[in-house]
Chain A
Amino acid sequence: MPIKKSRKIDIYAMTWRLPIIIWQLLFFVGPVIFMIAMSFFLVKNYRMMEAFEFINWSKMFSKNYFWDSYFYTITIASISTILAMVLAFPASFALAFKASEQMRRWAIFLLIIPFFTSYLVRTFSWFVILSEKGVVNALLGYIGLGPFTMLNTNFGTLVGYLTLTLPLVVILQTVTMANIDRTLIEAARNLGCKPLSTIWKVIIPLSKTGLIVAAIFCFILSFGDFVAPFYLGGSQEPTLPILILDTTKSGQQWPRAAVVAIVMMITLFSVAFIGIALAYRKKASK
C-alpha cells in the first residue's frame, strides 16, 4: 500500500505524472482540438483565415461525392472486416485448438513480423505481383487461366486491406480462443454437441469479446488506410482518407479535410462504442 501523502504539492509524484499530460496536451489534444476548430475556418486566395463559419461543413455535406465516398468507405471497410474475420477464423481455430503450445507461440511471433515491415513496401510488392504480367497472372497462365485485371479494382483494395489487417486478426482470434477453458468444450462434446455446433454454440459465444475487439481493430485499420485504395484500388472511387489527402495536398483546403477527418473520427468512435457495448452486454447477460 502506498503511503498517504500530505496535502502539499508532492514534487516527486508530479515529476512522473505531469510530463505526459503536458506532452499530450501539446502534441495530441492540441492538434485534435485545433483540427476541430479549423473545420470552421475560411480559405481565401489559398490562405487559411481563422473564423467561425459553417461553410466547410455545409459545402462538404451538400456534395454528392462526399456522401458517395463516405458510404463507399464504410462498405468496403465492412467487407474487409467480414472477409478478414471469416478468412482468419479457420486458421486461428487450427492454431488455437490443433497446434501445440510451442507451435502457437512461433506462429504468433511470425505474425508480429509484418507489423514491423514497411506497409508501403508490402503494398508495392502486391502492386507488382498483381499487375497484368505479374507473378499471379504468370502462374495462372501456366494452367491456362487469365490474365485477370486485379489492380485498380475493389479486389486490389481488399488485398491491401487484408495485408494490413489479417496478421492482427489471426493473432487476436488465436489468443482469445486459446484462452477458452478446454473443459467447457469437452463438456459440450460430452453432452452430445456436434463439432460444428460446438463452434457456434460454445467457442464463438465464449470468445465473443475478443472476436469483437478484433473486428473493431480491423474496421479502424481498413477505414483509415489510404495506401491500399490509392495504389491497389487506383482510387477510382476515392475513400475518405484519399479525400483528406487530395484536399490537403493539392487543394490547400485544410478546413474541408478537417471536416472529413472529424466525420471519420465520429464514425470510428461510434463503431468502437457499439462494438464494445455489444461485447460486454452479451457477457453480462450470460
Chain B
Amino acid sequence: MNSNRILNIVLAAYVGVIFTFIFAPILFSVIFSFNSQRFPTIPLGNFSTEWYVKILNDPDIWQAALNSLIVSSSTAVIATILGFCTAYSDFRYNFRFKGPYLALILLPPTIPLIIMALAMLAWLSKLGMSGQLWSIVFAHSVLTAPFAMAIIRLRLNQMDPDLESASWNLGGSEWATMRYVIIPFCKPAIISGLCLAAAVSFDEFAISWFVSGLNKTLPVVILEIVQGNIDPQVNAIGTFVFLISMSLVILAQIFFVYRQMKSTNT
C-alpha cells in the first residue's frame, strides 16, 4: 500500500518533469519577450515591452505578417476543398486503385520538410513559378490537405449512410444533395479543417524559406533573425504567432468537439 503511494507520487513528479521539459521553451519564450535583457537569464531583468515596440515599428515584420496571413488563408481554403473532395470520394465510392489514391493525399506529411522544400524549389523553378507567395501556397496545400481530409472523413463517418439516399429519394439531384445535405452536415468539420490547415501553414518555415524568394513569411523572418544573432525580437514575434496559431486550434477544437458532443447526445 505505502510503496504503491510512493510510486504514484514519483510517477506524478516524473510526468511533471516531462511536461516542464516540453513547455519550458514555450514559457521562457513568452517570459523573455517581456524581459529587458538582450541575453536573458536568471535573475530576470526588468519588465519591458521594447521588443514588441520594435517589431511593431518594423515595416518588414508587418509585410511578413501580411504575407503569412495571405498564405495561410489561401492554403486553408485550397487544402480544405481538396480534403473535402477526397474525403467524400473515399466515403461514397469504391473504385480501383483506391489505396494508391488515398496514399497520394496522406503521404506528404511523412516526408521530411527539407526534402519537400528542395523538391518544390526545383520543380517550381523549372515551371517558372518559384519566388512568389503562390509558390508557398501550392506547397503548403499539399502538406495540409491530409489534415483537412482526415477531419472531414471522421465527420462523414458519423453520418447515417441513408441520409444521402434519403435526399435523392425526396427529389434532390446528386448536386442538390451535395449542397443541401452533405456540405451542411460536414460544416463543423470543414471549419475545423480550415483552422487546422491555416495553423499548420502559419508555422511552416522550411518550405517557405526555400520557395518564397523575397516574399518572406513570419517564420522565414524568424529564421533569418535567428541565423544572425541573439535577438529577443524573435520571442516577441514567436509569442504573437503562438497566439494566432492557438486561437485557430482552439476554434477548430470548439467546432469539432462541440458538434461531436451534440451528435453523441442524440
Q: Do A and B touch each other in the complex, judged by CB within 8 A?
A: yes
Residues on A facing B (Cβ under 8 Å): 2-3, 12-13, 15-17, 19-21, 23-24, 26-32, 34-35, 38, 87-88, 90-91, 93-95, 98, 107, 109-114, 116-129, 131, 133-135, 137-139, 162-163, 166-167, 170, 220, 223-226, 231, 241, 244-245, 248, 254, 257-258, 261, 264-265, 268, 272
Shortest distance between the CB of B207 and any CB in chain A (Å): 10
* 4 pairs of A and B residues whose beta carbons are closest in the complex: A224-B112, A121-B238, A31-B119, A125-B25
Q: Does B34 contact A (CB under 8 A)?
A: no
Determine the distance from Cα of A94 to Cα of B226 in the docked complex, in whole angstroms: 37
Q: Does B151 contact A (CB under 8 A)?
A: no
* Total count of chain B residues near the partner, CB < 8 A: 81
Is there an interface contact between A17 and B12, defined as CB atoms closer than 8 Å? no
Could you pull out 17 A-B pairs where Cβ atoms are within 8 angstroms?
Answer: A26-B138, A31-B124, A34-B123, A112-B249, A113-B249, A114-B22, A117-B26, A120-B219, A123-B226, A125-B25, A128-B32, A137-B41, A166-B18, A226-B206, A254-B118, A254-B122, A264-B112
When the two chains form their complex, are residues B112 and A258 in contact, meaning their CB atoms are under 8 A apart? no
| Given A17-B85, A257-B118; A118-B203 close (CB under 8 Å) | yes
Docked-complex contact A87 and B18, CB < 8 angstroms: yes
Which single residue of chain A is at the shortest CB-CB distance from B104? A24
| Contact assessment for B19 and A110 in the assembled complex, using a CB-CB cutoff below 8 Å | yes
User: A224 near B104 (CB under 8 angstroms)?
Assistant: no
B235, A129: Cβ atoms closer than 8 Å: no
The chain A residue with its CB closest to the CB of B105 is: A20
A87, B139: Cα distance in complex, Å: 34
Known: A24-B105, A116-B249. A224 touches B114 (CB 8 A): yes
- Bound Cα distance from A254 to B119, whole angstroms: 10
Nearest-Cβ distance from residue A73 to partner chain B, whole angstroms: 11
Tell me what chain B mostly uses at the interface: helix, strand, loop, or mixed: helix
How many angstroms between the C-alpha atoms of A27 and B139 in the bound complex? Answer: 7
**Complex Cα gap A265–B113 (Å):** 11
Q: How far is the CA of A245 from the CA of B114 in the complex (A)?
A: 8
- Are the CB atoms of B88 and A16 closer together than 8 Å? yes
Determine the chain B residues whose CB is within 8 A of the CB of A170 once the complex forms. 18, 22
B101 cross-chain contacts in A, Cβ below 8 A: 17, 20-21
Known contacts A110-B19, A122-B26, A220-B110; A17/B89 CB under 8 A: yes
Query: In the bound complex, what is the Cα–Cα distance between A231 and B82 (angstroms)?
Result: 36
Cα of A88 to Cα of B22 in the assembled complex, Å = 11
Looking at the assembled complex, report how far the CB atom of A24 sits from the nearest CB atom of chain B, in whole angstroms.
5
**Contacting pair B114 A32 (CB below 8 A):** no
B245 on interface, CB distance cutoff 8 Å: yes
Contact A118 B22 (CB under 8 A): no
Whether the Cβ atoms of A116 and B246 lie closer than 8 Å is: yes
B159 interface contact, C-beta 8 A? no
